[in-house]
Chains A and B, each alone.
Chain A
Amino acid sequence: MPARGPRRALLLLLPAALPTAAVLGAALTVAVLQSTGLMPVVGEPDPTTATYRALAGDRALLDGLRVSLGVAAASTALALAVGLGMALLARTTRLGGRLLRAAAAATVPVPHLVGAAAVGLLLADSGLAARALGAESFPPLVAGPLWVAVVAEYAWKESAFVALVVLAALAAGERELDETAATLGAGPWQRLRRVALPMAAPAAVAAGGVTFAYVLGSYDVAWLLGRSYPEPLPVLAYRLWTDVDLARREQALAVAVVTTALALACLLVTAALLARTARTARAVR
């Protein structure tokens, strides 16, 4: 008798879950072990929470936490607003939907590092935008206090991802439902609020959660376009890891563990939100 139900689902998931668990699990285990003194670079194992306690009082970590969460939140909010907005607008015409899908599909494979370099050339105070505007005092967008260039790069790339996911979710019959809602007396706004948005919501929540977790753990863009202080958590972790002082490695791994925990928490919140959208979506509010 073939396996059915949850057992079958788990079996089917194995090919994807196994490598993920192996890579992530091994890395995380080492990170946790090393940062808690159970697997020191030199010397005998000596379990301790000293590294974490030291970090908790360290301004570099707290500032990094603030910047990381801020940049991730701003990038996610912008990407969601732009991606969701574009998808909802584009769906009103067939051609618009096709064009947006093509544009988004072309954007997604561009590596973040290339995107960051492009944004740098565009927004730096000696960049294209500054020259085109000929402004005397161009605002410090790259490496400035507001992390504008970093957020812009993430928002640009991730909005394409959001748009693709939302378009795919809306593709399944949303147009017919939109027509149905219209014949039932719903104007464009009502259709947007009561049909398109509720149908796009699960996809948007999922894409938003993934974007937030990605930006939180991403290193390259912030390193290239951000300030030297405060450092976002991944940049901080990398700097500590490459420090000449080997003792700093434990701190680097502790920062990495904290970052991973945050990303996992974000995905858990996303899952909870998804369950909630599925349960409580109602037109009559």
Chain B
Amino acid sequence: MSTDLVLDGLVRRFGGAAVLDGVDLTVPAGGVVALLGPSGTGKSTVLRLVAGLDTPDAGRVRAGGRDLTGLAPERRGTALVGQRPRLFPHLSVLDNVAFPLAVAGRRRRAARAEAAGHLDLVGLADLAGRRPATLSGGQEQRVALARALAAAPAVLLLDEPFSALDPGVREGMHRLLADLRGAVSPTVLLVTHDRQEAAAVADTVAVLLDGRIAQAAPAGELHTRPASLAVSRFLGGVNEVPGAVERGAHVSALGRLALPCASPDGPGVLVVRQEAVALTGPADGDATGTVTRVTPRGARWRVEVTTPAGPLSAETGPGRTPAPGDAVGLVLPPDQRWVVPQATG
């Protein structure tokens, strides 16, 4: 069932404006790649192009070495689960899951038996006889997932499938997806605008900015080693220290800060995730400054500090939190320091 998926220079224009401007992306066989991007950047368009529901203006889609570009959707082997479950209202839950099997020419009894197995896989075996209208949102989405898996797709496309669900249900769906990977290891391309979801579900997260893949990397690396200021900002990074790299160190208003890995000399912006920054006494730390604002962020606090290099932020856990006006020191752990090119234009 597992094949790789390769997108090669996909371009899609709507009314002259290129929404996708050369998207290159590879999903390895059995891998899960999350396509992450702000709303309206054409994430869903990528999936529609892969599924054959839309035609690219340029570029190709390949799966398992087969060129899918130009094939009708039903001949691609790419099942799509969207934000809404789109179950067939005139069919029972079991017959919804049996649909792709019946379409493939399976006998009714065999199709239903196999469908029951898929329904069991998503934990809804006892709802087989129900009508879609009687299900909850989470149940509907599980049925949609089972139905997509029943099609035995070469590639499973998920278009924000969990975004309409309650947080608790969503986490259950993330666990289910992980279980399904263990059972049937499908190749999955998941579209989401939720950074946490991308990190929780995918091996690789690809950030789609301005119609192109700005960076594709494991979620951890994406956060600590962004390819650009745009990626850093999109992922919520707020600490940016302009300066220059000189012989393995970043030189700025904060002074000379050693870098963990080699960076070419020249102008560069030091980025350090606010989650990695630690607070210390005003005498210690890589930077000192005055707390200007403290905002709660769930169980954590965001502490904003004015420093000679501009505002920097740290996120602290529950416990002792400084108050605005306090003088503090900031520790930028050496292994968390990363330099990106200065924004152009």
Contacts and interface: CB of A to CB of B under 8 A. Distances in A.
A274 to B, nearest CB: 13
A185 B91 contact: no
A190 B106 CA distance: 13
A189 B227 CA distance: 48
A186 B103 contact: yes
B99 A194 contact: yes
Interface in A154-168: none
Contacts of B157: 183
Given A180-B80, A284-B111, A185 B100 contact: yes
A237 B265 CA distance: 102
B234 interface: no
A176 interface: yes
Interface in B210-238: none
B91 A182 contact: no
Contacts of A184: 74, 79, 99-100, 103, 147-148, 151
A99 interface: no
Given A181-B99, A184-B100, A281 B90 contact: yes
A183 B84 CA distance: 15
B148 A285 contact: no
Closest 4 CB pairs of A and B: A182-B73, A184-B100, A281-B90, A186-B103
Given A190-B103, A284-B95, A185 B88 contact: no
B330 interface: no
A173 B147 CA distance: 18
B108 interface: yes
B78 interface: yes
23 contacts: A179-B53, A181-B88, A182-B52, A182-B53, A182-B73, A182-B74, A183-B53, A183-B73, A183-B74, A183-B80, A184-B99, A184-B100, A184-B151, A185-B77, A185-B100, A186-B99, A186-B100, A186-B103, A281-B91, A283-B88, A284-B99, A284-B108, A284-B111
Contacts of A187: 72, 74, 103
Contacts of B173: none
B154 to A, nearest CB: 11
Nearest to B104: A185
Given A180-B86, A185-B151, A199-B90, A283 B102 contact: yes
A183 B79 contact: yes
Contact of B86 (A176, A185, A194, A198): A176
Interface in B29-79: 51-53, 72-74, 76-79
Contacts of B95: 282-284
A53 to B, nearest CB: 48
B98 interface: yes
Given A180-B82, A181-B103, A194-B102, 14 more contacts: A176-B84, A177-B86, A179-B73, A183-B80, A183-B157, A184-B147, A184-B148, A185-B151, A186-B74, A194-B99, A199-B90, A283-B88, A283-B95, A284-B95
B51 to A, nearest CB: 5
Interface residues of A, number: 22
A195 B88 contact: yes
Nearest to B144: A180
Contacts of B98: 283-284
A190 B90 CA distance: 15
Interface in A194-231: 194-195, 198-199
A126 B162 CA distance: 68
B280 interface: no
B118 interface: no
B92 interface: yes
